[in-house]
């Protein structure tokens, strides 16, 4: 599986809203999903969004794993989320370190909702709703921001 080039923050695609994936396209994007995962893993990321690999579609991968800043982050099987929609997020927020594959050499504390409920399509095309909290919820908010052209430095207080 190929690794894809990652857009840096000066690329216009990172500042635009990505398009919804049509249900017939779900079959066509299987290779893209594999390439996004390989690209994220090669960069030691815990998430990635399609616009970061120059694809203007509403697709993210969430793949929390323990890392130096979040040694107690949960280890999870990577989840591909197609057309993710955050249905609800808690008023309770928490601050935590973030980085971005598209904003090299930058780390900052970002305030995010502690908990959220999300609806998305899986890579097999079924609709799922699930709740997440903590670091995984943080990754989801960071990746969903990418789909709306928002980078984490724009979220700083
Ligand atoms: O650029 C991306 O979207 C991937 C980020 C995801 C991320 C979201 C929230 C908090 C941290 C990272 C990359 O994983 S950046 C690498 C990284 C990994 C763990 C912690 C901090 C930075
Ligand atoms: Zn990012």
- Of the candidates 37, 49, 142, the residue with the CA atom closest to the CA atom of residue 99: 142
φ and ψ at residue 125, rounded to 5 degrees: 85, 15
For ligand 2, the distance from its centroid to the CA atom of residue 98, given in whole angstroms, is 8
Containing 113, the helix (H) or strand (E) segment is strand 108-113
Q: Which residues line ligand 1 (CB under 6 A)?
A: 45-49, 67, 69-70, 97-102, 138-139, 142-143, 146
pLDDT lower than 70: segments of the chain: none
If you search the block for the tokens 């697709």, which residue do you land on? Answer: 59
CB-count burial class (<10 Å; 0-12, 13-18, 19+) for 75: exposed
Q: Using CA atoms, how far apart are residues 106 and 4, in angstroms rounded to an integer?
A: 21
Q: For 80-103, how does the pLDDT look when each residue is reduced to its tens digit (9 = 90+)? A: 999 999 999 999 999 999 999 999
State which ligand 1 atom lies nearest to the alpha carbon of 146.
3
State ipTM: 0.92
Quote the pLDDT of residue 25: 84
If you search the block for the tokens 């993210």, which residue do you land on? Answer: 60
Quote the pLDDT of residue 26: 82
Strand-by-strand arrangement of the 79-89 sheet: 47-49, 59-62, 79-89, 115-121, 127-133
């Amino acid at each position: 599986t190929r690794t894809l080039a990652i857009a840096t923050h000066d690329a216009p695609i990172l500042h635009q809203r990505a398009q919804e994936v049509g249900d017939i396209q779900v079959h066509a994007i299987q290779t893209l999903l594999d390439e996004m995962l390989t690209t994220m893993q090669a960069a030691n990321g815990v998430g990635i969004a399609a616009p970061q690999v120059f694809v203007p579609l509403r697709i993210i991968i969430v793949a929390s794993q323990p890392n130096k800043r979040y040694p107690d982050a949960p280890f999870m099987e990577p989840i591909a989320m197609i057309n993710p929609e955050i249905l609800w997020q808690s008023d309770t927020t928490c601050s935590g370190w973030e980085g971005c594959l598209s904003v090299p050499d930058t780390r900052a504390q970002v305030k995010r909702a502690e908990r959220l409920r999300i609806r998305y399509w899986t890579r097999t095309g079924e609709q799922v709703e699930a709740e997440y909290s903590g670091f995984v919820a943080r990754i989801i908010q960071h990746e969903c921001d990418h789909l709306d052209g928002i980078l984490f430095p724009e979220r700083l207080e």
